[in-house]
Amino acid sequence: MRIGVSLPNNLLTKFDRIIEKRGYSSRSEGIRDSIRTYITYYEWMNDVKGRRVGTITLIYDHTKRGLSNALSEAQHDYIDIIKSSTHIHLDHDNCLEVIILDGEGADVKAVAERIMSLKGVKYVKLNTAPPGDKI
In the complex, which residues of this chain contact Ni ion (CB under 5 A)?
89, 95
Tell me the closest approach of the beta carbon of residue 89 to Ni ion, in angstroms.
Answer: 4
Q: Which is nearer to Ni ion, 70 or 95 (CB)?
A: 95
Tell me the closest approach of the beta carbon of residue 94 to Ni ion, in angstroms.
Answer: 8
Tell me the closest approach of the beta carbon of residue 95 to Ni ion, in angstroms.
Answer: 3
DSSP per-residue letters across the chain = --------HHHHHHHHHHHHHHT-S-HHHHHHHHHHHHHHHHHHHHT--SEEEEEEEEEEETTSTTHHHHHHHHHHHTTTTEEEEEEEE-SSSEEEEEEEEEEEHHHHHHHHHHHHTSTTEEEEEEEEE-TTS--
Q: Which is nearer to Ni ion, 31 or 118 (CB)?
A: 118
Question: What is the number of the residue whose Cβ is closest to Ni ion?
Answer: 95
Tell me the closest approach of the beta carbon of residue 122 to Ni ion, in angstroms.
Answer: 13
Q: Which is nearer to Ni ion, 36 or 87 (CB)?
A: 87
